[in-house]
């Protein structure tokens, strides 16, 4: 069978069109991921690390925690009112950003780390859940949500730059629980959620010190080495989880369930934006006492003064 030149050219044209379309779809798929398909993240060559051995989050056996002692965290800039605070619907979560520098050090970290952003994870009204799970044998504790403070090493310009470096990232995780009272600081976020129904929407939020998002008791933390919980799942994260949660009201929690998964409502609501727990694979998890009581040094000083006075009185009496 003999093909004309025109036919051969048409076949070549269609071949190149199909090849280009396939490459375009592959490129598009690198940037598109969702929680519903998380079991297949590792099958994308760009996200192969999602199938590696030191992934996050994890189910933490509280009976297997190894005691550790770290120096207290030093929070630089966290107690100042952050400037130009914005809240963004990223398509996978909501994210708080600010122009102010927030730096952490101490706490067993290898240097100083700069805050990039804060984001949130939640489940549904019927099944509220964060990412990490605590268990103590017969008791499994799933929290109502989870807040992540994502930091990169101060030597690097961004999370992307630091993500491929050993211990390049430090994430502080805060568990979210519910009680009857509204959280005043979370109210500043909650009041803006109605303006963030769709992906890529951004609003300004009232300024407040980021330290107010943490629990008041920051003495005890869980520490382990893990990964980002979203693609590309780089295993370069030093995780710190505060054992004491923060509390918001049920109404505030349920407002998180009102945003849509995408730029319109065709994909339904943005729910269950958490990754399933990953195998521990022999990693060690630590329970550290940071001895953060700000009055402990002062109390010790007073105790020494009282002892000295008592000793002096004893000498005078004798």
Q: Is residue 316 very low, low, confident or very high in pLDDT (cuts 50, 70, 90)? A: low
What digits encode the pLDDT tens for the residues 257-311?
999 999 999 999 999 999 999 999 999 999 999 875 544 444 444 444 454 555 5
Catalytic positions: 92
What digits encode the pLDDT tens for the residues 74-95?
999 999 887 889 999 999 999 9
Is 15 part of a structural domain of the chain? no
Is 26 part of a structural domain of the chain? no
> What's the longest Cα–Cα distance across the chain?
124
Q: What is the pLDDT of residue 84?
A: 85
More confident residue, 28 or 55: 55
Is 82 part of a structural domain of the chain? yes
Is 277 part of a structural domain of the chain? yes
How many domains, the chain? 1
Residue tagged 């729910």 (tokens): 271
Sign for the pseudo-dihedral over CA of 208, 212, 214, 218: positive
* pTM strictly above 0.85: no
Whichever domain contains 286, its CATH number is 3.10.200.10
Is 310 part of a structural domain of the chain? no
Is 27 part of a structural domain of the chain? no
Residue tagged 């101490």 (tokens): 106
The whole-number average pLDDT for the span 21-49 is 74
Q: What is the pLDDT of residue 267?
A: 93
| Domain residue limits at 49 | 34-305
Which long-range CB contacts under 8 A does 205-208 form with residues at least 24 apart?
Answer: 205/85, 205/86, 205/87, 205/96, 206/85, 207/81, 207/82, 207/83, 207/85, 208/81, 208/82, 208/85
Q: What is the pLDDT of residue 21?
A: 37
Q: What is the pLDDT of residue 258?
A: 97
Is 6 part of a structural domain of the chain? no
Is 242 part of a structural domain of the chain? yes
Q: What is the pLDDT of residue 22?
A: 41
Q: What is the pLDDT of residue 38?
A: 97
Residue 210 burial by CB count (10 A; 0-12/13-18/19+): exposed, middle or buried? buried
Residue tagged 């010790």 (tokens): 300
Q: What is the pLDDT of residue 10?
A: 54
């Amino acid at each position: 069978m003999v093909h004309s030149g025109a036919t051969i050219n048409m076949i070549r044209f269609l071949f190149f069109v199909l090849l280009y379309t396939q490459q375009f779809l592959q490129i598009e798929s690198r940037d598109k991921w969702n929680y519903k398909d998380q079991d297949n993240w590792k099958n994308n060559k760009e996200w192969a690390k999602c199938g590696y051995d030191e992934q996050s989050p994890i189910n933490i056996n509280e009976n297997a925690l190894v005691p550790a002692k770290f120096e207290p965290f030093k929070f630089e800039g966290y107690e100042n009112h952050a400037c130009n605070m914005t809240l963004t619907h990223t398509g996978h979560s909501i994210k708080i950003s600010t122009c102010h520098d927030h730096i952490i050090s101490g706490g067993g970290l290898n240097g100083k780390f700069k805050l990039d952003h804060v984001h949130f994870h939640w489940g549904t009204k019927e099944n509220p859940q964060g990412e990490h799970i605590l268990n103590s044998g017969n008791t499994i504790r799933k929290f109502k949500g989870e807040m992540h403070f994502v930091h990169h090493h101060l030597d690097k310009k961004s999370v992307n730059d630091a993500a491929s470096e050993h211990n390049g990232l430090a994430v502080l995780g805060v568990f979210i629980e519910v009680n009857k009272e509204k959280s005043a600081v979370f109210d500043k976020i909650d009041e803006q959620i109605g303006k963030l129904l769709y992906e890529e929407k951004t609003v300004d939020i009232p300024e407040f010190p980021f330290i107010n998002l943490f629990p008041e008791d920051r003495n005890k933390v869980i520490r382990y080495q893990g990964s980002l919980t979203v693609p590309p799942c780089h295993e370069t994260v030093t995780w710190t989880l505060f054992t004491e949660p923060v509390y918001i009201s049920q109404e505030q929690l349920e407002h998180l369930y009102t945003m849509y998964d995408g730029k319109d409502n065709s994909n339904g609501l943005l729910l269950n934006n958490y990754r399933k727990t990953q195998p521990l694979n022999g990693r060690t998890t630590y329970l550290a006492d940071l001895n953060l009581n700000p009055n402990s040094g002062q109390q010790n000083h007073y105790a020494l003064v009282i002892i000295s006075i008592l000793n002096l009185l004893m000498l005078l009496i004798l």
